[in-house]
Amino acid sequence: MDSARPGHPPDNEPPRDGVPAPADPPSGAVLPGGMGAGSRRLRRRGQGELESQVLAVLRSANGPATAGWVQEHLEGDLAYTTVITILSRLYAKSAVTRSREGRSYTWTSVSDEAGLAALRMRRVLDGERDRDAVLARFISALSPGDEDRLRALLARADAPDDPYNPRDTEGM
């Protein structure tokens, strides 16, 4: 368990993969966010990909796990703070829960990869008020009168004098 590195400031890490040093304040100043390296990686790999990786690792734990444990089991060397950031994001999306144990949190996954995709898609759709113009949508909203009209129409469609109804003949 690697919970003994809470004070490790990621800003002190050397720049990797030829990424030029950020034009941040001098490294002596510890920024409150302290995620320079982490956020660059997030962008490079795609936020969604990292989130599902972390979620997959957390699910493999079969129970509560610390952020340090997740970091150890993740492929690649992600900074501890990056893992914390991703876990916090997943927490905000209700994809994981957390409980305080001593000075740090333990995390438990409540949602699988598919559930996370659904959450994200829902957020995309809810964020667009005018989404009908972009995505062809199967059903649009009903006005109060529509409901009665629809029921009447469906009753007509289900009338017993159907000349041909494939659902009966082809054996659903």
Partner 1 sequence: MGVFVCLPLVLPLTALPIARLAEQHLHPRIATRLLAVVGALLALCSTLCLGLLMVVGTAQLPGNPLPDGWSDPEVREAVPYEEKAGIVAIGALAAVLVACGWTVCRHLRLRIVARRALAAAPSVVSGDVAVLPDPEPYAYALPGSPGRVIVSTAMAECLDAWERRALIAHERAHLAARHHRYLLAAQLAARANPFLLPLRTAVSFSTERWADEEAACAVGDRRVVAVAVGKAALYSHRAPDVSAGFAAFAAPAGPVPRRVEALLAPVLPVRLWPPSSAHAALAALVATVGTAASALSSLNATVTLVGILHAATPL
Q: Which residues bind partner 1 (CB under 8 A)?
A: 46, 48-49, 51-52, 113-118, 120-122, 124-125, 128-147, 149-151, 153-154, 156-158, 162, 164-167, 172
CB of 152 to partner 1, least distance (A): 9
By beta-carbon proximity to partner 1, the closer residue of 1 and 125 is 125
Q: In the bound complex, what is the minimum distance in angstroms from residue 158's beta carbon to partner 1? A: 7
Tell how far CA 171 is from the center of its chain.
Answer: 41
CB contact at 8 A, 38 and 85: yes
Q: 66 — phi, psi (to 5°)?
A: -85, 165
Contact 34, 81 (CB under 8 A): yes
Based on CB atoms, which residue is closest to partner 1, 16 or 45? Answer: 45
| Residue placing its CB nearer to partner 1 in the complex, 101 or 146 | 146
C-alpha radius of gyration, the chain, whole number = 25
- Closest CB 58 distance from partner 1, rounded Å: 15
Amino acid letter, residue 9 = P
d(CA 154, CA 142): 15
How is the beta sheet containing 96-101 ordered, strand by strand?
A: 65-66, 104-109, 96-101
Between residues 23 and 141, which has the closer beta carbon with respect to partner 1? 141
Query: Least distance (Å) from partner 1 to the CB of residue 69?
Result: 22
Contact 56, 115 (CB under 8 A): no
How near is the Cβ of 96 to partner 1 at its closest, in Å? 15
Question: Which C-beta is closer to partner 1: that of 16 or that of 149?
Answer: 149
